[in-house]
Structure 1
Amino acid sequence: MISDFIFGRVLIIGDLLLDCYIHGSVDRISPEAPVPVLLRAKHSTVPGGAANVAMNAAALGCTVDLVGLVGQDSSAREFRKAIGRQPNIDPGHLVEDADWVTITKTRVLSGRQQIVRIDEEPSVVIPAAVQERLIAAALAAMERADVIVCSDYAKGVLSDGVLQAVIRAANQRGIPVVIDPKRRDLTAYKGAQLITPNRKELAAATGLPVGSDTEIHFAALAAQEQFGGDVLVTRSEEGMTLLERNGRMTHAHVPKSEVFDVSGAGDTVVATLAGMISARADLRTAMVIATNAASIVVGKLGTATVSRAELSAALKSKIDRDGVIATLPQAQAMIEAWRQHGARVVFTNGCFDLLHPGHIALIQAAAREGDKLIVALNSDASVRRLKGEERPLQDERARAIVMGALRDVDLVVIFEEDTPYETICALRPDIIVKGADYTEDEVVGGDIVKSYGGRVVLADLVSGRSTTSIVSKMKTAPQADTPSGP
């Protein structure tokens, strides 16, 4: 699970904010004007903007270098104090300027209801000399970075010059760059590997509608043409959509959760993506995990983070709900975690319509070949194509639950194709096990596994046992006499 990933070092550069919260209760209306009177109870501050990305990445277990601009005011001192609560963040690359006003957003709340927000921010363009200091700080921190995040809140830190210098230097060093964009023209982000616009930002940048999956697809293609990398679109309650440079489109549905506050959810997403990339996870796996992180953070009030323990528990709970049933991206994440502990991953597949002793023998034989066993099940549609319209006798969910209940099975995935070839390519097991009624050359995916040093094992079968033969016997068995009426 997420607790087993080894996260790297993330460099985050962007607009730094201080989020302040004034909490209290409202019991009356002011006699001076028709406005509520808040009886103040407490005041709290947390880092916001790019600093919230840093807090989220650090909470997951990343080591973070933070680059941004603060003033020499009381808000800057409060900001440094707030950042200092997270030991995984190195604030040594912050740039301080006496003429800059530290950006502050103050929210006044009664219970969970926000009454008003008060913003304080400079109205000046960052001078060229300060931009050069920002570039120098980013280049210094880049020397040990595994991934770079540019968190653009359109407050001036990520100017054309800063962006170009950071992206150019990252490309020279082979460091992936993730952009949380705010610009209408995405060409400024050329050279980055990934951008993460929400629907509103994607529509503004492309001028295209973004209501349906199809519209999202075309808008993401248009965005891709502007900057040349992968596009991950965050879609609130509809989850996320990833368009990779190879043209592959993947959707991830967000787990249901009670939504209290969406502020900062995008920061959690980009931080989780960066953390997973630093741990060498693929983008599809990173996206699935990021959707789960987002579903947790929107259930919290205000600018918040998701801890490694919270995310691990949520992912485990999601898989454990149905035993060990997982989507393909979840399975990829699980396998990556297993391999970090040296586990050998075994794979077998089938329809497994009516579980019988022959199936059990195959599962037990497969489990003996390695440390973790994945069973891939044909979907209902796949079974019908292979076995006929009368099959399967049990739907895919029922078959998966039964299979997942077996002690030797560590993970169950369902595939839609006629063969598990694509699933094997995605999961890259170390060993494939099939029955001895196959030859090694006939085993689907065997060539793939052997190409990277894996092997194919043919297990002995229990003679006379198959679902087809059981069904045939049921059909030909004599019917019991129906008792006649009085």
Structure 2
Amino acid sequence: MIENFDFGRVVIIGDIILDCYINGSVGRISPEAPVPVLLRAHHTAVPGGAANVATNAATLGCEVTLLGLVGCDDSAEILRATLSTTPGIDLTGLVVDSSWTTITKTRVLSGRHQIVRIDEECVVSLPETTQARLIEAARNAISKADVVVCSDYAKGVLSDDVLGAVISFARERGIPVIVDPKRKDFLAYRGASLITPNRSEMTLATGLPMDSDEKVERAARMVAEQFEGDVLVTRSEDGMSLIRREGDVTHVRARKSELCDVSGAGDTVVATIASMLSAGQDLETAVVIATSAASIAVSKLGTATVSRSELSAALLAEIKEDGGTLSIQQAQTVVDSWRHHGARVVFTNGCFDLLHPGHISLISAAARQGDKLIVAINSDASVKRLKGASRPLQDEGARGTVISALRDVDLVVIFDEDTPLEIIQTLKPDVVVKGADYQEYEVVGGDFVKSYGGAVVLVDIVSGRSTTSIVKKMQQTKSAVEMAL
């Protein structure tokens, strides 16, 4: 998986933005005007625009050179400070212009609901001297690059002269150029390898609807002829469509995810594709991986990055959608991601040798205790030690496949010990569930879970149902048949 990729250097040039978030709660309407009163809780700032592309690429493992324009203001200093927390980003190519206002977008939120956005910007035509400084910085950076990204937010940094020079420098070295476009006319991007418009941007550029695969292909081919490159249309819940200029088409469907905030998702897509290309992957593979990254990004509130471990776990989960298990390390990444988004994580365990109504009842009851359910299964060796040499009747792979196919189950792991204590200590679930035939003090890991505020829940079970009793009945039936014969 991507943990083994050897990422290269990506140069990112474009409009640099500081994204600020003022969070709080609304409990009343102002007596001064019919507007909500926000009780402010905290204020955060993160890189946005081209800077968000840079942090995403660096988080995945690339060495990144960020080029753009900032002013001589507090926002520029905050932006530098936020970028400095992500290793691997070179900021020496940032151009400072005293006449420029560092672009800032401030979003005011109550919980997860945005009330208003306040923008600070003064977009003006860049002086020739400033453009020359940007072009020179681009020339130096591209000489050491594997991939170039132009992050165009239509704020003025990627003027015709700057854009033309960047594409020309990259083509001279045979380096792919990816453009996230915002112009109505894509002809300005002629010479780029790939552009990544969303559906609205494609409709604006072509005047064509985007409500089917066929219509997307038609519009993309029109655009591809204009700028002489490949087109990747990002289609929100419908995934992405890659239309190659020479004719090949790839439609990648989006992973199901809980939609929270789409801001910055396009940056994640561009950064992921650039990162995968820098690691020597082909474009089709990069698009598939970027689709997963986008699904993770939109499940997070605000402008956010996607880590290599998060992305790797998501890709593994996709591979195993039709059944299977994750290692404890992979499961830990998934569980950490759930918890980061506020999920209540539930844990139960067992051998689950022959699935019967008692198992279904336990799993269903466990799932109702929270948002995500982990089922831990004893390995074959563990079952033999606990149940005897004749067990298990099904190997751990088969048992994992059956359990993971149940609708209530979100994740399956296999443990080799006699008890699940170690895996509970690793995953730290919020709730541990066992059948009511246990006493609370008998539940393995219960004291540990309660030590950090978790809970042990005992649920009613279906009496008279167990794999042991089923096996015994089968053996008795077999003996009766043999005697009758």
Output the TM-score relative to the length of structure 2: 0.66
In the alignment, the residues of structure 2 paired with residue 304 and residue 21 of structure 1 have an alpha-carbon distance, to the nearest angstrom, of 12
Secondary structure at the counterpart of residue 52 of structure 1: helix
C-alpha offsets along residues 55-96 of structure 1, whole Å, 9 cap, x if unaligned? Answer: 110111111000000000011111111111111111110000
Q: Following superposition of structure 1 onto structure 2, how do residues 4-83 of structure 1 map, counting pairs within 5 Å?
A: 4-83=4-83
Q: Deviations over 1:321-363 (max 9, x none)?
A: 33579xxxxxxxxxxxxxxxxxxxxxxxxxxxxxxxxxxxxxx
Distance 2:186 2:42 in 1: 41
Counterparts in 2 of 1:64-103, with a 5 A limit? 64-103=64-103
3-state DSSP class of the match of 2:80? helix
Matches within 5 A, 1:307-318: 307-318=307-318
Correspondences of 1:121-160 after superposition (within 5 Å)? 121-160=121-160
What is aligned with 2:265? 265
Aligned to 1:300: 300
Unaligned runs of 5+ in 1: 326-400, 406-486
Q: Distance in 1 between matches of 2:322 and 2:61?
A: 28
Q: Secondary structure at the match of 2:43?
A: strand
- 1:126 and 1:320 map into 2 onto residues whose CA distance is 51
Q: How much has 1:209 moved relative to structure 2?
A: 1.6
Q: AA paired with 2:196? A: T
8 Å contact from structure 2 (residues 24, 109) kept in 1:
yes
Q: Secondary structure at the match of 1:158?
A: coil
Equivalent-residue separation in structure 1 for 2:238 and 2:277 (angstroms) = 23
Tell whether the 8 Å contact from 2:241 to 2:249 is kept in structure 1 after alignment: yes
Give the 3-state SS of the residue equivalent to 1:68 in structure 2. Answer: strand
Q: Within 2, Cα distance between the matches of 1:138 and 1:164?
A: 11
RMSD: 1.5
Query: Once structures 1 and 2 are overlaid, which stretch shifts more, 122-131 or 249-258?
Result: 122-131
For residues 88-107 of structure 1, the C-alpha deviation after alignment (integer angstroms, 9 at most, x for no partner) is: 11111000001100000000
Q: Which amino acid aligns with 2:311?
A: L
Separation of aligned partners in 2, 1:171 and 1:93: 20
Secondary structure at 2:224's aligned position in 1? helix
Equivalent position of 1:222 in the other structure: 222
Q: Where in structure 2 are the equivalents of 1:265-344 lying within 5 Å?
A: 265-323=265-323
Partner letter of residue 36 of structure 2? P
Specify the SS of the correspondent of 1:304: coil
Q: Look up the SS of the partner of 1:219 in the other structure.
A: helix
* Paired residue type of 2:304: A
What amino acid does structure 1 have at the position aligned with 2:95?
A: V
- Cα drift, residue 124 of structure 1: 1.8
Q: Aligned partners of 2:159, 2:95: CA distance in 1, in Å?
A: 15
Residue 209 in structure 1 maps to residue 219 in structure 2:
no
The residue type equivalent to 1:77 in the other structure is: E
Match of 1:199 in 2: 199
CA distance in 1, matches of 2:318, 2:209: 33
Partner of 2:240: 240
The one-letter amino acid paired with 1:29 is: I
TM-score by length of 1: 0.66
Distance 1:214 1:22, change over 3 A: same
State the 1:3 CA deviation. Answer: 1.2
SS in 1 for 2:25: strand
| Deviation (angstroms), 1:20 | 0.5
Q: Distance in 2 between matches of 1:232 and 1:104?
A: 28
Distance of 1:143 and 1:228 partners within structure 2: 23
TM superposition shift of 1:320: 2.3
Q: Write the letter of the residue equivalent to 2:231.
A: V
Inter-partner Cα distance in structure 1 for 2:47 and 2:272: 17
Provide Cα deviations, 1:263-313, integer angstroms capped at 9, x if missing partner: 000000000000011111111111110000000010000000000010001
Q: How far apart in 2 are the matches of 1:273 and 1:133? A: 28
Contact 2:221 2:245 in 1 (8 A): no
Residue identity opposite 1:114 in structure 2: Q
Partner in structure 1 of residue 165 of structure 2: 165
The alpha carbon displacement at 1:123 in A equals 3.4
Is contact 2:225–2:245 with CA below 8 Å preserved after alignment? no
Q: How far, CA to CA, are the matches of 1:11 and 1:118 in structure 2? A: 29
1:2 positional shift:
1.4
Query: Measured at CA, do residues 38 and 190 of structure 1 come closer, stay the same or move farther in structure 2, by a change above 3 Å?
Result: same
1:115 match: secondary structure = strand
Determine if the alignment matches structure 1 residue 116 to structure 2 residue 116: yes
User: Does the 8 A contact of 2:123 with 2:155 survive in 1?
Assistant: no
CA distance in 2, matches of 1:202, 1:102: 28
Cα separation, 1, equivalents of 2:150 and 2:240: 20
Provide, for residues 139-195 of structure 1, a one-character-per-residue CA deviation record: whole Å limited to 9, x for no partner.
111111000000000000001000110101110011110000111111111111000
2 CA distance for matches of 1:169 and 1:123? 26
* Partner residue, 2:180: 180
> CA–CA distance in 2 between the matches of 1:88 and 1:170?
21
Alignment correspondent of 2:362: none
Deviations 1:108-163 (A, max 9, x none): 01110110000000132111110111111111111110000000000000010001
Deviating beyond 6 angstroms after TM superposition, the runs of 4 or more aligned structure 1 residues are: none
Which residue identity lines up with residue 291 of structure 1 in the other structure?
T
Distance 2:275 2:114 in 1: 31
How many pairs does the alignment contain?
A: 329
CA-to-partner distance for each residue in 1:34-54, whole Å, 9 max, x for gaps? 111111111100010000000
Q: Distance in 2 between matches of 1:8 and 1:123?
A: 33
Q: Separation in 1 of the partners of 2:180 and 2:123?
A: 22
Aligned residue for 2:117, secondary structure, equals strand
Q: C-alpha deviations, 1:395-429, integer Å up to 9, x for none?
A: xxxxxx98x98xxxxxxxxxxxxxxxxxxxxxxxx
Counterpart-to-counterpart distance in 2, 1:200 and 1:17:
22
**Residue 3 in structure 1 maps to residue 6 in structure 2:** no
Superposed CA offset, 1:439-484 (max 9, x none) = xxxxxxxxxxxxxxxxxxxxxxxxxxxxxxxxxxxxxxxxxxxxxx
Which amino acid in structure 2 is aligned with residue 147 of structure 1? V
After TM superposition, the structure 1 = structure 2 runs for residues 465-484 of structure 1, keeping only pairs within 5 Å, are none
- Identical-pair percentage: 65
CA contact 2:196–2:270 (8 Å) conserved in 1: yes
